[in-house]
Structure 1
Amino acid sequence: MTQPSRSSIFTLAVLGAITGLLSGLFGIGGGVVLVPMLVMFLGFQQRLAAGTSVAAILPAAVVGGIGYGVQGNVDWIAAIALAAGVIVGAQIGSYLLSRVPTGFLRWLFMGFLAVVVVSLWFVVPQRDAEIEKTVLVIVLLVVTGLVTGVLSGLLGVGGGVVVVPVLMFFFGASDLIAKGTSLIMLIPGSISGTIGNSRRRNVDLRAAAVLGIAASVLSPLGSVIATHIPPFWSNVAFSLLLAFVLGQMLFKTLKKNKNS
């Protein structure tokens, strides 16, 4: 793998900073934004961009997660339950990737995103809301992580875009707890995914290091800004990001169907 040029290092640093800010602000991995930017601005192949993104988000998830944790906005039990499901689900998704037609699943997921985008404008969680701890809730959290991991493996979407709205709407978490818990959940997923991608040579570790360092610088800032944004406007901003993700997926799907 060739040594990155100074211009590409600068571009990577800028993209990493943007990813880190989004990660801290919304509790997502940022891959839904970073992957297309790596392809567009630096000419990465899709698989290499996805693998590099998974590795790059690790420092930002750690730093951003700690930022939310220090502020008391992480549900550690929920994060562990989700992580347990995500680790297994990601392996299942990767296994099924070349074996299962994903067309219907992709449309189903886009429908889910569309519902969430609309709901975020009308359903506003309370800042002091917490996840109720029962055996059933823990089991459902593991299942949520499992489904999230499968979707991530099959569709290449980050876990945060699924987990954050699900924690708010179905488990009664506040927006801040949902974001902080999501970031903690991403840590083991990033480690597991990077190990697998390294074996398949689907990751540029030099680029990931630059992206990750830049992302980790701005991730705490994103988590601090999130606490100062009212829940409604936080929902509005998150809905716009999800609308971008939805539009991106819709464009790729229609383009693929047109060329096939």
Structure 2
Amino acid sequence: MGHWEIFLFFLVIAFVYSSVGFGGGSSYLAVLAMYSLPYQEIRLTALVCNVIVVIGGVYIYIKNKQVDWKKVIPITMVSVPMAYWGAVLKISQETFFLILGITLMIAALLLWIKTGTQYENAGAEGTTTSLVRNSFLGGGIGFLSGLVGIGGGIFLSPMLNLLKWDTPRKIAATSSVFILVNSLSGISGQLSKLSVDMDYFRIVGLGLAVFIGGQAGSRLSLKWNPLIIKRMTAILVLVAGVNVLIKYW
């Protein structure tokens, strides 16, 4: 098994992001995209790490009653089967990396944009949502999640913020649930057609690195600016996206 340094990258990313309440899923995908690994392994690894990172956060959100199930269910009920469909859809390696490169570049843009929190105490206008709109939004992002190997929160959270869908805390809770259920759905789709080229020891090892880093970071109260971390991530994700497109265009 080569590329031992990826373990260190994942551990540091999980540590830094969990310390300020982020998951870092896009950074895991960006790092993996820079290595010549089988694309099936990249997708499965990213989804497994997503689950490990967000499951603790989802538990805390539910415990603190931050999850509005009446609003979460319409988004996730369509996204889950779409994520599974995206995961089992047969695409070539070239097509995967082309979609991945474009996805990372769009994700970088969304990460760079600062979505305001001036509606922290959003009223009725922030809670009246369209069932059709939520289902369509969740389904589209869910399909992309399964296809590429992301949780989808990197797209969902900024869009919900721009739509003033709810308070930032409720949006963060919704995004965490969304990432968890779609990652699990994508993993189930991946498990239906495992590749012999994948290094399962590396996947388990990276999952362990993320768990250690995430647990350590979540237990510390560090004075890092979340916006700075998001924009540093945006640069990393953009570089990875451009690199993928140049390599596989």
- TM-score band, normalised by shorter chain: 0.7 to 0.9
Shift of residue 154, structure 1, vs aligned partner: 4.0
Give the conservation status (yes or no) of the 8 Å contact 2:101–2:240.
Answer: no
Q: Tell me the equivalent position of 2:240.
A: 248
2:120 to 94, 104, 127: 127
Give the conservation status (yes or no) of the 8 Å contact 2:86–2:186.
Answer: no
Distance 2:235 2:150 in 1: 14
Give the conservation status (yes or no) of the 8 Å contact 1:97–1:154.
Answer: no
Distance 1:95 1:11 in 2: 26
Give the conservation status (yes or no) of the 8 Å contact 1:110–1:246.
Answer: yes
1:211 aligns with 2:203: no
Shift of residue 48, structure 1, vs aligned partner: 0.8
- Correspondence 1:5-16 to 2 at 5 A: 8=4, 12=7, 15-16=10-11
1:22 to 17, 29, 33: 17
Give the conservation status (yes or no) of the 8 Å contact 2:86–2:145.
Answer: yes
Task: Deviation per CA, 1:39-88: give whole Å up to 9, x if none.
Answer: 667x6433212212212322322112223334444333333332222212
- Residue identity matched to 1:15: F
Q: Tell me the equivalent position of 1:143.
A: 136
Give the conservation status (yes or no) of the 8 Å contact 1:54–1:194.
Answer: yes
Give the conservation status (yes or no) of the 8 Å contact 1:125–1:172.
Answer: no
Q: Compared with structure 1, are the counterparts of its residues 119 and 161 closer, same or farther at alpha carbon in structure 2 (3 Å cutoff)?
A: same
Q: Compared with structure 1, are the counterparts of its residues 186 and 20 closer, same or farther at alpha carbon in structure 2 (3 Å cutoff)?
A: farther
Q: Compared with structure 1, are the counterparts of its residues 38 and 106 closer, same or farther at alpha carbon in structure 2 (3 Å cutoff)?
A: closer
- Correspondence 1:147-226 to 2 at 5 A: 147-202=140-195, 205-219=200-214
The structure in which a higher percent of residues are helix is 1
Give the conservation status (yes or no) of the 8 Å contact 1:60–1:219.
Answer: yes
- Give the SS at the match of 2:130: helix
1:37 aligns with 2:31: yes
Q: Compared with structure 1, are the counterparts of its residues 16 and 107 closer, same or farther at alpha carbon in structure 2 (3 Å cutoff)?
A: closer
TM-score (norm. length: structure 2): 0.72
- Residue identity matched to 2:226: S
Q: Compared with structure 1, are the counterparts of its residues 244 and 125 closer, same or farther at alpha carbon in structure 2 (3 Å cutoff)?
A: farther
Task: Deviation per CA, 1:211-247: give whole Å up to 9, x if none.
Answer: 3344345546666779987xxx534432432343233
Task: Deviation per CA, 1:77-123: give whole Å up to 9, x if none.
Answer: 33333222221222343466639x78997787567546535531x73
Q: Compared with structure 1, are the counterparts of its residues 133 and 123 closer, same or farther at alpha carbon in structure 2 (3 Å cutoff)?
A: closer
Unaligned runs of 5+ in 2: none
TM-score (norm. length: structure 1): 0.70
Distance 2:157 2:221 in 1: 14
- Correspondence 1:61-72 to 2 at 5 A: 61-72=54-65
2:76 to 65, 80, 83: 83
Aligned length: 245
Q: Compared with structure 1, are the counterparts of its residues 198 and 118 closer, same or farther at alpha carbon in structure 2 (3 Å cutoff)?
A: closer
Unaligned runs of 5+ in 1: none
